[in-house]
Chains A and B, each alone.
Chain A
């Protein structure tokens, strides 16, 4: 290792896994390496910096077309009066809506096939994130590639999950809400949390309320943790080490939720629920029948005001935000 440069180190898949935490074995390896070679710390931090730069660069390249589009809207709309506003003037929002509608033609249609069993349905988020409301009025945000199957009956609500999903659970004390992820069971009453279930690991981030995490073992259910808000739990199947508990900043989850919001001819009802869940706010509609209107749009890492401007432009409505910015009225 001694002769490796920071740049070479930054190109090693195992090192990149370590930086992003994508592989527990690699994280352990590099943490061990750092402990055994403290003199290499500056080299490692330089390599980490390069990996971070590469990540942001890929993100910037992806977002650049949208940014240029926004600039063009600005240039087209303000040649005489350069009034500085934090967000797009309406004329630019019109351009954004046009682009969004065209883009949405390529989006996938949600798969919701009722299977043989009554009360059971499968949902897959294939090419983009998918927000959906379950029969009990709980809201789920499925990340790319996530597969979820739910079975609801009179005394239980059971979800089978592969991949990452965020749940905002409707309160129902008589029917516990359980997510099965591999050998683990996450049980909640009324609460919201994010789960990342992979074949060999599980991560749970709890936003509000309380959940308990259990593992199915040969000798029955074994309690792993009871989590409190802002707790993050990382588990690795087959690992003997204790589960890693840490806390996260509420903004981390917020940023993740707003990363991608996709509406494809979605009923206004659903769209509003998803915006509420993604930005932790409440929206009240006045003079609009949410069942009759639909909305298409695609947002990436957008601020709430930007989403609201596009939504209100489509509906030809206005919005108002209350002083504590938790409540919005669209009229």
Chain B
């Protein structure tokens, strides 16, 4: 089981294995969180995220144990993300960036709840279902194009899509859906 406080202690002590584990554990969550703030800037988020982890690593001896590691990482990453974006943009473009001052633990926690919900749902998918759903919706490919690229029949693609969506719905249905509404 992943132990947040233990991994953070080992990270601060300079254990490379702990750094890798932390990166592995938080990569997806923090990437998604970053994309939420800078929509359409995925490549920038990805690079800044890598830099952010290295930035933490280089300052590890001066970091203290946060009460909530996840919220701590999320809020400090957001601050860093937006300040590095500001440096790259012309002053006139900055007005569109989200305001860093309005951050708060509550926001990071609300995000974490949503993230967990989607994450649990997506674990219900097989790799093949994931791939088809990703091609269909993220890349906007038609089932015909997917079948062509995957060299499989249209029927297989429809099956994968259908079963994938059914698995998602089933997974979501089994959770407490009134989480938000």
> Could you list which residues of chain A lie within 8 angstroms of chain B, going by C-beta atoms?
5-8, 10-11, 13, 16-17, 19-22, 43, 46, 49-50, 52-64, 67-68, 70-72, 74-75, 82, 84, 86, 126-127, 144-145, 163, 196, 198-199, 249, 251-252, 255, 258, 301-303
Contact of A56 among B42, B53, B146 (CB under 8 A): B42
18 CB < 8 A contacts A-B: A5-B181, A8-B172, A43-B181, A50-B114, A50-B117, A56-B32, A58-B122, A58-B130, A62-B134, A71-B53, A72-B20, A86-B47, A144-B141, A145-B141, A163-B145, A199-B144, A255-B40, A301-B46
Q: Is B121 positioned at the interface, with any CB of A under 8 Å from its CB? A: yes
Quick check: A59 and B137 within 8 Å, CB to CB? no
Is B114 in contact with A53, judged by CB distance below 8 angstroms? yes
Which residues 158-181 in B have Cβ within 8 Å of A in the complex?
161, 165, 168-169, 172-173, 175, 177-181
Given A53-B32, A53-B114, residue A11 in contact with residue B141 (CB < 8 A): no
| Cβ A53 vs Cβ B173 within 8 A | no
Expressed in whole angstroms, the minimum distance between the Cβ of A318 and any Cβ of chain B is 22
Q: Which of B23, B35, B145 contacts A144 (CB 8 A)?
A: B145
Closest beta carbon of chain B to A328's beta carbon, Å? 18
Complex Cα distance, B29 from A67, in Å, reads: 14
Expressed in whole angstroms, the Cα–Cα distance for A71 and B28 within the complex equals 15
Q: Which of A53, A61, A303 contacts B43 (CB 8 A)?
A: A303
Interface residues of B (CB under 8 A from A): 16, 19-20, 23-24, 27-28, 31-32, 35-36, 39-43, 46-47, 49-51, 53-55, 57-58, 114-115, 117-119, 121-122, 130, 133-142, 144-146, 148-149, 161, 165, 168-169, 172-173, 175, 177-181
| Chain A residues closer than 8 Å to B134, beta-carbon distance | 58-59, 62
When A and B form their complex, which 5 residue pairs have the shortest distance between CB atoms, in order from nearest?
A145-B145, A60-B31, A5-B177, A60-B28, A301-B43
* Nearest-CB residue, chain A, relative to B175: A7
In the complex, chain A residues whose CB is within 8 Å of the CB of B138: 20, 55, 58-59
B50→A70 contact, CB < 8 A? yes
Are A145's CB and B148's CB within 8 A?
yes
4 A-B pairs besides A17-B137, A71-B50, A303-B43 with CB distance below 8 A are A7-B117, A11-B168, A68-B27, A251-B41
Closest Cβ of chain B: how far from A70's Cβ, in Å? 6
Instruction: Find out whether the CB atom of B58 lies under 8 angstroms from the CB atom of A84.
Output: yes
- Chain B residues with Cβ below 8 Å from A255 are 40-43
Query: Which of B32, B40, B54, B58 is A60 in contact with, Cβ under 8 Å?
Result: B32
Are A68 and B141 in contact (CB-based, < 8 A)? Answer: no
Q: Does B43 lie within 8 Å of A57, measured CB to CB?
A: no
Q: How far is the CA of A82 from the CA of B53 in the complex (A)?
A: 13
A65 to chain B, nearest CB (A): 10
Given contacts A53-B36, A72-B20, whether A64 and B28 have CB atoms under 8 Å apart is yes
Which residues on the A side are within 8 Å of B178 (C-beta)? Answer: 5
Kindly provide the distance from the CB of A184 to the nearest chain B CB, expressed in whole angstroms: 17
Q: How far is the CB of B167 from chain A (nearest CB, A)?
A: 10
A259: shortest Cβ distance to chain B, in Å? Answer: 9
Instruction: Tell whether, in the assembled complex, residue B137 and residue A50 are in contact, meaning their CB atoms are under 8 Å apart.
Output: no
| B130 / chain A contacts, CB cutoff of 8 Å | 58, 61
A50: chain B residues at CB < 8 Å are: 114, 117-118
